[in-house]
Structure formats: C-alpha cells, structure tokens
Structure 1
Amino acid sequence: MFRWTQTITAKVLGIGLLALLMLIPLTQADGLVRERQSMRDTASARVADGWGGEQTIGGLVLAVPTRSETHDADGKLVASHDGTEIVLADDQSTVADLSVEKRRFGMYEVPVYTGDVTLRGRILPEDIRRFAADSGSTWFPGKAELRLLIADTRGLQHITSVTVDGKPVRLASSTARMGPYTVLSTPVAVDPARDTPLDYVMTLRIAGTESFSALPLARNNSVRVRSPWPDPSFTGALLPGTRSVTANGFDASWQVLDLNRAYGQHWSADDKDVAGRLESSAFGVKLYQPGGVYQQNDRAGKYGLLFIALTFVAFFLFEVLKGLRLHPVQYLLVGAAMTSFYVLLLALSEQIGFGPAYAVAAGAVVSIVGGYAVAALRARRAGFTLGGVLALVYAILYGLIGAEQYALLIGAVVLVAVVGLLMYLTRRIDWYAQGTPFNSTPDTP
C-alpha cells in the first residue's frame, strides 16, 4: 500500500509538472499573438502614411507679434527680443461628421474616415487689449495672424471656406509649430480701438485613421462628433457630456471650459511648458474594433494552462475510476495537441474571422484528442466521453472570450463548479487502496 501511495503521488506530481511544462508553448503562442498585433499596428501606420494619421483639430487662435526691450539707466537700448503672444477665442464650436470605411494593407483591415468639420468662434477685443497691457511688451496687432492647429496635414483634403468678419481669407502653410501640432495661418490686422468681436467660420474636409480629437482652445468650447461607426471609444482628457450610441452609429457632445484645462487664455509662443500641455488636453473618439482578432486570441490564451490542466485531470480520473493506465508521454501528446489549438486559431482567425476559426480549431483538436483517447484508453465510450468533456471546455472558453465584461465572474463560477464536481466524483476513492471505494456501511462483528 505504501508503494502504491508513492506511485500515485508521483503520478499526480508528474501530471502537474507536465501541465506546467505546457507553459512553454503557451508562452510562445502568446508571443506570436503579440508579434502579429505589432504587424497589424505597422499596417495601420502604413495606411496612415498615405491617408492621414490620428487627427486632432485645434481651432483658430490669434498670434500677435511682440517686442520687448531692455534699456540701461541712461535710456539706451541694451537688448530686444521679438516674440509672439497667443490669444485664445472666447467661445468656439466644432462640429465633425465622420464617414468611416475600412482599408486593407495585406491581410489587415484598418478603419479610416473622412470628415466634414465646421468651426465657429469669436475673439473678444477686450481680451486682446487686456493681454497686451499685462505683457509689458510692444504689440503689433497690424501684423497679427490667425492660426489653425492640426495634427496631420496629410489628411487635410480640402478647405471649403474660411471667413473672418464675414470676408473670405486663405490659409497658408506656416513654419511655426505649437507643441506637436502643425500650423496653418492667415494674416489678419487687428485694430487696437476695435470694440466688436473678431468672428471666424471655417469649413474643411479631413481624413484620418482610427482617431479624431479636438483641442479646447477657447474659454467656452462646444464639440460635437457624429459617425455611423457603432463602436466608439471616447478618449482623452474629458468624456462627452451627452452621447448616443446605437447600432447605426454615435452622436457625442462635449462642453468644455477654460477651467477644465491646464493652461490659460493667453501665453507666449516661446513657452515650452504650455506647448507640452496642449496635447494632454485633447479629447475625442477612437474607432474601436470590439473583440478584435488579436484581443480575442490574447484572451483565449489566458485560460490555456487552466483548461489543459482540467483536461489532464479528466484523463487522470478515468485512470483511477476505470482502472486504466496512461503513460506520461501520452499526457504530453494530449497537451501538445491542446497548445497547437492556439496557433491554429490565430492563423485561421486572420483569414476567416475569429468565430469560424474558433469552431474549426476547436473541432480539430476535439477530434484529435477524442480519437486518441479511444485508442489510448482502449475504450470507445471513455474516449467519446473525454471528447465531449473537451468540447464542453472549448464551449466554456468561447463564452468567456465573448463575455468581455463578465469574463472574470463566469470564469470564477466555472472554476468553483469544476472543483466541486471533481471533489464529488472522487469522494469515495480510497487513495491508499488503489482506487477502491469506501464501504459506506460499517462492518458487523
């Protein structure tokens, strides 16, 4: 009996070691998923190179040249510095209507969009005078310009119209930059004695890849983004105040104040600190692809070791309950078949989609392992039962992958239920008596 105890203990430890050994191919499969994900990201970047990248629109800001001078005690000019002061609008509204399609690069699909964007805003004259008085520099409002901030000019397809004070103007490329953003500008002479707002309206058509954002470059910002894309992911510094998401698309609106950002209504263009804060204040939407192929493959791989271990336990129970014997090499072959499922799933899902790929890969592995169990256990019924158990395991795994928000809850319930079932099936096994059940009635003298 002691020898049997040593044998069965060694068997259990050996099976556990084999299950842990399966971590090696599972880790390799996980690395393969990440490699393919990286290739997909490269494909997205290649599409963006020719179409336009993740777009950010900043609206129009007023840039006024300035000069500060330093004099000695005799009033003689010692040094002078030319700079540019930035004044933001009092209010600005942005409306973007995005039309989405998918572009392919090799086998990869990337969501891209074209959008008609309309910007309306006004700059108050008292803001200009106030900031000019506070700066202590000489301002040259006659040489001012309006600047449009945009992330990627490759996606700027057409500027339909730009009007300032009701008069059409033309935007031109500029060597100036504001933080990470490219600048387009148009000259505008600002009369210091002016007492009416400087109004502007702009309509343009842009193209971009996967993401659209706006910058809150006004005291009061109103942004509305609409698209037929049914799966938006709202990102950035602020979430939309109102939103409607249906199977036909989304409609989201933001109301943002100057108090919600980390910079004021006025700053020097030389201020690198403000330039660094611009990007972090952006907010918008990402064209999310729910349950993407690589995300689903990654989620499936997280449960790989658990389900391989459960399959090994099922085989071991048949050994104990039916008095059968399996060699460790046979366990190793079953584990190899189950780990190959993840490579086959990844390869097929890139070609035919995740659902059909899962059905084919799971069906192949269930057939292989079930058929092998029939031959190895020399019992057709036992082999079919193990095949059915494995099919149930893959059905549970598919449910966990699909239930994105409830995967942890479902997985925990299934794990407890499986452990409880194993305890129930082995409740009468006397591990010291080579698997014979306990006698439920006491011996009579």
Structure 2
Amino acid sequence: MDLLRFITCGSVDDGKSTLIGRLLYDSKSILADQLEAVEKASKSRDRNAGADGKVDLALLTDGLRSEREQGITIDVAYRYFQTTARKFIIVDAPGHIQYTRNMVTGASNCQLAIVLIDARHGVVEQTRRHSLIASLLGIKHVVVAVNKMDLVGFSEDVFSNICIQYAELARKLTIPNITYIPLSALNGDNVVDASTNMLWYTGTTLLHHLETVTINEDESLLHGRLPVQLVIRPQTAELPDYRGYAGKITCGSFRVGEAVTVLPSGETSTVSRIESNETNVAEAHINQSVILHLADNIDVSRGDLIVPSVGQPVVSQDVEAMLCWMDTKAFSVGSKYVLQVGTARTRCSVRAIPYQLNIETYEQIEDVDTLKLNDLARVVLRTAQPIAFDPYTQNRANGGAILIDETSNVTVGALMLAN
C-alpha cells in the first residue's frame, strides 16, 4: 500500500481544519476516545456548539490551546489515516499570512496540495500566495476545493466562476495537474460521499480522488545520493579496520561494486559493502538508512555527499535559489548566514537579490536589496566552501536548503536551489 502526503492550505476560515476533521470522521478514522474528547470540547465552546449541538470537527487538528481559544490554526498539524486503497499523511497549514513560513515547511515533502477557497469570497491573496508556494516547491497535483457551497445555495455558477478565476491564476504557475471539486466540509458534501445537493457536479469526491490520483515516485529513479551523517570507526580489537559511512539514502540507490564519488572533494572509490539493519545487502534504495563501506581509505566526513560517479550533482560556491524569508529581521544584501544542504553546513554571504515576486500578480520586482517576513525572492549566495546539490526542479531531496542565523541558530529561510 503506497503513501500519499498532502497539505491543506488557503485563507483563514476557509475550513481547512474542518475538512480534515470531516475526512477523518466520515472515513471512520477517529478513535472512540478522540471523538468523545472532541464532543466534550465542542459543547464547552458556546459559539461552536450551535442549537443542534454539532461536533466541531476542526478540533481534531487544532491541538494547541491558543488555537482552540482563538478558533484558528497556528502550528502545522499532522494527521495519519488510511483506507483500503492508500495510506495518508495530512498536513494542515495555517491560513493567516503571518504563518506562511509554517506552510512552507509543511508542504516541502508533500506530493499534493488541497487549496481551499471559500465559495463566498473566491480567489483571495492567500490563495495566490499558497498556490505560488506549492508551485515553487514542486507540488505537481493541486485540488481546488471550493468549500462552503451550502452558503451560496450550491450554485453551479458560483463554482464555475471560481474555477475560471483560479485557471487564470494557474496559467502563471507550474502546476501540471489541477482538479476542481465543490464541497461543504461542514456537512460532508463531496468529501467522502457524493452530494445530493449538487447533482450538476459529475466529478469525483475528494476522498476518491485522493485514493486514485497517480503519484509518481520519481525520486527512486534518480541518481543515488547519500549525505554522510556519521563516520563509524570503532577501532576495537574485534574491528580494527572497520570504517563505515552512515546516512539515509535520499533518492536513487546504491549497489556493491558501483563506482562512487565523494563530494565536494571529488575523490573516487567503489562500494565494497552495504549494511542495512545489521545485515549485508547487495543493493540499497531510497529512504533506507545504511552504512556504506568503500574499497579505498579516502577522506570522508560528516556533511560530505556520496554519489555514483555517473550522474553527479552541481558542486559550486556560487548559488542561486528561490527564497522564502521566514524571520522578522530583514534579509539584506551583504548579510551572512549558515547554509545547510542535507548534512552539509557552510557559512555564506548574500551577494544579490535579482528580483522579488509580487504575490498578487506574480510579477518580478527588481532593484530590491532587503526582504521582510514571508517575502519570496530570487537570491544569489556565495559560500565559504563548495557545496554539492541538484537543482530543486530536478531533485527536491537534494535541491532544498535552509538558511540559519549564526547568532541565534534559528532557521530563517527556506531555499529552492536553482543552478
């Protein structure tokens, strides 16, 4: 059974948490004690209980006390469930603009995005912002879920107009697969079961689409990448010559006898042995944690990248990337940070900001020398040591990076490497 990781995003109060709660509730993926706790919490909140005492399904994901008190999503919430067709990891992203950075971290490993749109309001700023981020992060499947159709009389015209609005927006983005679904998360229309209130809609329900959408795991077909996490050399009497390089294969595979190169040094060797779960294996694949042994005693340290000698990544000190700035302190030309790609860390300085992206129009704004919280821009960095990476559009696993503040050690930026 395969796994689909998807994120729900959109503007505040579009019903993201309620939609996830409805998916879990109608697919019978809630434990009895969880449901009992949510029912009690719903009754204690007068404004959500209502005259009919409906359960507030948003409480299944809004777990922080501050979220419950304010009725908003602040932190990224993860929920797990499965049907007979597929396993799922749901990421519930905040809708407020000030929490856009949370959405970036949540979406970075997702294969599909559900963009919720309130049928009463249509496409708004956060719709554009989150769609742009989904596109930049390489998410190839987007479901445009037009929610709260019950509040517009289940109007086909309202749904069609929103589809036209979003299609106009999507033409400026790189999203190859878009599906439009009208629904009511509160009442369950077209979430798990087909709606009897929108007979004009002949498409699939949301859950059926999630169960059947084709997700290509292209990472398994890419060239192997092993960021070295630890050099293991016990130097004991029992293992006097043992030298292994431990890490998790982020894409592709490795096999015994394969010629490999250690980057950024460029030294070469062959794989003499692969350990996985204390067992020697002939081949290891993506997402496996392994210990590689090389035929030659070459210099390998934490932060190095072991790759096949055929199909090597970029090695450079000059880096271009798309940046999502995630700190309240401004990002500016000349500033210095720590750049981390995989397990490799190096100091870097900001050389230039070629342009900033306008969230509303997606136009490029030039002559920019500073960025503020949640801004998206193209940046040029110069690193102290060469780093090995792949362009993000070709390899998300080895093309994503973060910027770290040198003084506070806080992550302040997310990067999609380009060159």
| Length-normalised TM-score, structure 1 | 0.25
Instruction: Name the larger-Rg structure.
Output: 1
Q: Which has the higher helix share?
A: 1
Bigger RCO of structures 1 and 2 (CA < 8 A, at least 6 apart): 1
